[in-house]
Structure 1
Amino acid sequence: MKLLVRNLSRTTSENALFELFADIGPVQSCNLVLDQATGESKGFAFVEMPKVGDAKIAINKLNNLDLDGSKIRVKKASTPAQDS
């Protein structure tokens, strides 16, 4: 399940985020979104966990967690509607 992690501190690293989620279960991918011009964090990331149960635990456990001075928001990433 792909998760959207928002309201990240600009100082939170991709490795720190990966480790936070890996404490709950296996992490397939962790992508901190960076500004192409500055290389700095845009304050959100996508984390993919292969087990739905682990992803749901991560949402419940980590949503509103204080991380590096910011209360992060964790929810299931919505996929854009596909045109038929």
Structure 2
Amino acid sequence: MKILIRNLDRETTEQELQTAFEAHGKVQSSDIVKEKSNGLSKGFGFIEMPKAGEAKVAVKNLNDSMLGANKIRVKYAEDKADSQAKPKID
């Protein structure tokens, strides 16, 4: 299950992010999105957790918690295909 983490402290590392989620279960991957031009964090990232139950607990427990100097927002990530497939309402 892919999880989106927003409002990351720009100094947060992928290892720190992974460690926070590992307290709630197995983490398959950890990725902080970075600027192409300078390699600095854009302030959000993704975690992949293979077990849905563990991911649900992680989202519930880590949303609105402090990581580094910021209060992070955690939710399930939407697939790009899913968000593009939704019809526009005019």
- TM class by shorter chain equals over 0.9
Q: Deviations over 1:16-68 (max 9, x none)?
A: 00111111100011111011111110000010000000000001100000111
Name the structure with the higher helix share: 2
Amino acid at match of 2:67: L
**Could you say which residue in structure 2 is the equivalent of 1:61?**
61
Structure 1 runs (4+) deviating above 6 angstroms are none
- Residue 35 of structure 2 aligns with an amino acid whose one-letter code is D
Letter in 1 for 2:20: L
Query: Percent identity between the aligned chains?
Result: 48
Determine helix, strand or coil for the equivalent of 2:33: strand
How many residue pairs get matched? 83
Q: How do 1:1-84 and structure 2 match up within 5 A?
A: 1-80=1-80, 81=82
CA distance in 2, matches of 1:25, 1:66: 19
TM-score, reference length from structure 2:
0.88
Q: Aligned Cα RMSD in Å?
A: 1.1
User: Whose radius of gyration is greater, 1 or 2?
Assistant: 2
Amino acid at match of 1:27: V
Structure 1: 5+ residue runs without aligned partners? none
